[in-house]
A and B are shown apart, each in its own frame.
Chain A
């Protein structure tokens, strides 16, 4: 277990993650109890339907435990079927007539209302209010980037006065460097998984969450995992030869990673020759900065092809930076 020191560093980083997760949960609890129990956005709309003076309302319990409320209001040309699970509306079918509503049900299609204006959307699949798990997992990206920064540059941390300890272990430099980086990458994954779990727990404060997957779930989850890894690799590759003050390099890394893509982006429409030249230079530099793909080039709402390209670029940069880090480290002298 030659990676013991890196393991301790990882544990320190995870302690910070645990503190942040605790703060997230406390904040969620405060919000939950400050704002009272959750109310579906469409409660008033359903309530108005049910309490219309001309409506005939019947209720029954479904085999799965949900409660079905049928609102028949011929004068208003409303026939609504509202399924509730506890206090939450999980499915809503709205039509002008009973036949039309039941036809929709028969086609196993649920209609849910997004707001009180009763704009209706046909949805396929289970007739539940679902959260997209990939979107939730995407929210772990900031935590991933934070942990990547905390753990970034593990080799330069050894360069800063510890090489005599590390290089007199009975293990090759390559193996040591590789295992140290592997520990960090596993820690990143653990930190993001723990954060996702904490977010799920936070959601339970508002009721039992039901999850679905978005149209590009795989790509979103993969990019959320790869982005911090690419950032970690960037910092590690940048600092592997640095012997003193690795923290400064990590700090500069952040600044460069934010400013360079920003300048490249802000000069993209420049008409003056100087502006075009600046853009050309910074655009090329942006290509090798993972943040470019996290913030700009890699737009999560863009097409799957763009996402795949960005993901591939980040994965390639990761491999290149980690390999460069090891090559530099092997050539270093204590």
Chain B
């Protein structure tokens, strides 16, 4: 199923939490929603699902607005635990069995085993990570066509984080559409094929991860000392950003990078290499306007 978010805007009085947020999630793809704290990721999810009323805009699933029936094919993991502390793990699974026609008991058992969840445990006795794990189990056990996961690895240990990422990728392989957010850029880079970056409630960057990465290169030079004369680089229109951390200088360039590598070598760099932009670089460029100006940023 395809999912499109169209011009979502959410205002709380004079404060605009979301400002004309738009993105498309192709069927069977994994979409990562990135942004610093308070950027509006959770509000976006809430507005998408109708948990909060958008001031404007809509969310379409296969071209149709969401209705209560849509939720039969949708799995959601909220940012914070929304489970019932007084209920056991088994009772939560029973709840899903009663509420969702597509509940798969066998799958639920596999997943509870995967995260070592004791069905008899009361939720209030579970750690934060295990509560997140249970939320993930509940979302995946109803065999949804669309998964919306708001920080689904929050509080999980590295092993379980990896398990959740595997589940996300497997779901996409099986044709499910996944939208998820995470503060761990590495996880998004591993799982997502499309991303959008939110800053201050606005989408400042979106697209296919491969396209975004292919659009820029990093030229990295290592010098003998940290007293490096970078004069002249800042005025080079091909360089969108210059970072210096100690003896290492990183130049973000549009493409190629050979000419810039040659310049760093001429400036005395002991070693120079040209590498693809990482998703972290893309994210940081997008969310920190100061870093996008062509100038020297030291001490990063």
Interface positions of A (Cβ within 8 A of B): 1-2, 4-5, 8, 12, 161-165, 167-172, 175, 333-334
Contact = CB atoms under 8 A, between A and B. Distances in A.
Contact of A4 (B70, B80, B83, B95): B95
A163 B82 contact: yes
Interface of B: 46, 49-53, 68-72, 74, 76, 78, 80-84, 86-87, 91, 94-95, 98-100
Contact of B100 (A12, A167, A170): A170
Interface residues of A, dominant DSSP: loop
Contacts of B68: 169-172, 175
28 contacts: A2-B98, A2-B99, A4-B98, A4-B99, A5-B84, A5-B87, A161-B81, A161-B82, A162-B83, A162-B84, A163-B51, A164-B51, A164-B82, A165-B78, A165-B82, A167-B49, A167-B50, A168-B49, A168-B51, A168-B71, A168-B74, A169-B71, A170-B68, A170-B69, A170-B71, A171-B99, A333-B46, A334-B46
B51 A167 contact: yes
A108 to B, nearest CB: 58
A334 B94 contact: no
A168 B91 contact: no
Contacts of A171: 68, 71, 99
Contact of B87 (A8, A163, A333, A334): A8
A4 B74 contact: no
Given A5-B84, A161-B82, A163-B82, A169 B49 contact: no
A5 B95 contact: yes
Contacts of A163: 51, 82
Contact of A169 (B46, B83, B84, B99): B99
A162 B100 contact: no
Contact of A165 (B52, B83, B86): B83
Among A2, A169, A171, A172: residue with most chain B CB under 10 A: A169
Among B71, B76, B84: residue with most chain A CB under 10 A: B84
A2 B99 CA distance: 5
Given A170-B69, A171-B68, A164 B52 contact: no
A46 B57 CA distance: 88
A4 B53 CA distance: 26
Contacts of B78: 164-165
Contact of A333 (B53, B80, B81, B94): B53
A4 B94 contact: yes
A162 B82 CA distance: 5
A333 B53 CA distance: 7
A1 B80 CA distance: 25
A249 B76 CA distance: 30
